[in-house]
Structure 1
Amino acid sequence: MRQAMPGKTPLYVWFDTEYSTLELDKAGLLQVAALITDASLQRVLPPERDVRLPIRLREGETLSPWVEENLPELVQACRSPEAVDLLAADTSLAAYVDTAAGPPAEREDQRPVLAGNSIHEDWWLVRRFLPRFLNRLHYRHLDVTAFKLEWKQIRPAAEFDKENPEMIRRYFPEAVLPVAGKRHDAYYDLQASIAELAFYRRNLFRSSVTESA
C-alpha cells in the first residue's frame, strides 16, 4: 500500500455496482463498492477503508427475475438492517475519495478517474443516484473492457479468468476477496477488474510489440 501524494495523478477509483434490472433508466442500486489505487495499481488506503455497501430497497422497487434468482443473498442484505439508503452511500463514497485524494479539485481533469469493467453503466447510475461522489470524479474513465476486446483479437484462447481467485491474487496481490469465486458481488468484481488490467499491462502490450516486430 502506498500513501497518496498531494498533486499526484491519476488515482483510480475502482467502482462497481449491482442493480435491480438491466434497464438502466429503471434500475435501482442494490450494492456499491469502491477501492482506490494509484496508477501502479497499488492501494492508497488500507483494505478496511474500502467501500462495500448494500443499498436499502426503495418502496415499490421492482427486481428483475434474474436478480431474484441469482442474487438472493444480496437481495436479503438489501432488506436487512445493514443496508443503507442512497444518501448514506453517496456520503460514504465521497468521504472515501476525499480521504485518498483530498478535497475535490476545482478542475475536473485533476480529480481521480473512475475505473472498472463496462464502467459506463456504473457511471450512468452514479449520475442518477450519487451526486456527491460524481462531483469528485474526472470526466474521463478507465474501462478495462476496451483492453479485453483488444486482447481477444490477439490471444483469444488465453482469456483472463475472473472467476479464478488465485489468478486475481496473482495479478492484484492486495486483493481481499469476500468469497472465493463469488461473482456478481461488486466488491469481488472490482478487484477482479484491477487484476485484469494488470494482466493486460503485463501481456497485451508485449504481445502487440511482438506481433508488429
Structure 2
Amino acid sequence: MTGLNPESDRIIEIAVLITNGNLDLVDEVGCHYVVKTDKQALDNMGEWCVNQHGKSGLTQEAIDSPHSPLEVAARVLAYIKKWVPEQRTGVLAGNSVHADAMFLRAKGPDSEGLIKGIWSDIMEHLHYRIVDVSTVKELCWRWYPDVARRYKEQVAKESTHRALDDIRGSIAELKFYRDSMFK
C-alpha cells in the first residue's frame, strides 16, 4: 500500500496463499501481483513507505508493472474462487489484516477517478470474519510471555514488508502459536 489511509492511498502489491484448516498450503505457488501505479501516487507516499518500498524494490516494480488494478482484482478473485468456490467460507488472515480488509472494502473513486470498489468483490466472496495473527501475538505476550519470547528468538524473521513474504511469515507464526498455546 502507498500508506494506511484507504480513502487516499492505494494497493500496490497483493498476494494470496490459501491454507486448509490445519494451516497447510493447498497451493505452494499462490497468487502474487504488483499493481501498476502512477508516479504521482508513489511520490505522495509518506517517509516510511518511500524508504521501505524503495529499499525492497517495490516502488520501481509498481512503476514498471504491466498489471492494472482492474486486471489484478479480477485475477485475485478468480484465484480465490478456484480454491474456495463457495462464497463466505474463506477467511482473510494475516498480521494486522484489518488494514488489508479496509483497503479491500474501500469504495469510491481515487484521485484519478479509478473506482476503488474493484477490490470489494474479493471481500464479498470471503467470510466476514478475519483471523488477525497480530491479535494472537498480543495475547501471547500478555498470557504466555515465555512462548512469545521463544517465538521471537527461534522463529521470527526480519520482515521484508513484501506481500508474499509477509503471508508466509504470518502462516509460520500462527502455526507456532497453535502448536505452543492451543494444544
Which bracket does the TM-score occupy, shorter chain normalised? 0.7 to 0.9
Aligned to 1:156: 145
RMSD: 2.2
1:79 to 45, 63, 67: 63
Aligned to 2:109: none
Does the 8 Å CA contact 1:30/1:78 hold for their aligned counterparts? yes
Instruction: Tell me which protein shows more strand as a share of its residues.
Output: 1
1:127 paired to 2:127? no
- Give the aligned residue type for 2:63: R
Does the 8 Å CA contact 1:33/1:51 hold for their aligned counterparts? yes
1:167 to 148, 155, 159: 155
Aligned to 1:142: 131
Q: Deviations over 1:121-173 (max 9, x none)?
A: 00000112302312210011111111101110133351534xx9x837xxxxx
Aligned to 1:198: 175
- Matched position secondary structure for 1:22: coil
Instruction: Tell me which protein shows more helix as a share of its residues.
Output: 2
Distance 1:192 1:24 in 2: 24
Percent of residue pairs identical: 25
> Which stretch of structure 1 is more off in the superposition, 119-128 or 63-72?
63-72
C-alpha change, 1:136 and 1:118, in structure 2 (3 Å) is same
1:31-42 to structure 2, matched below 5 A, reads 31-42=13-24
Gaps of 5+ in 1: 1-18, 169-179, 207-213
Q: CA deviation at 1:32?
A: 0.6
Aligned length: 166
Gaps of 5+ in 2: 107-115
The two structures have a TM-score, normalised by structure 1, of: 0.70
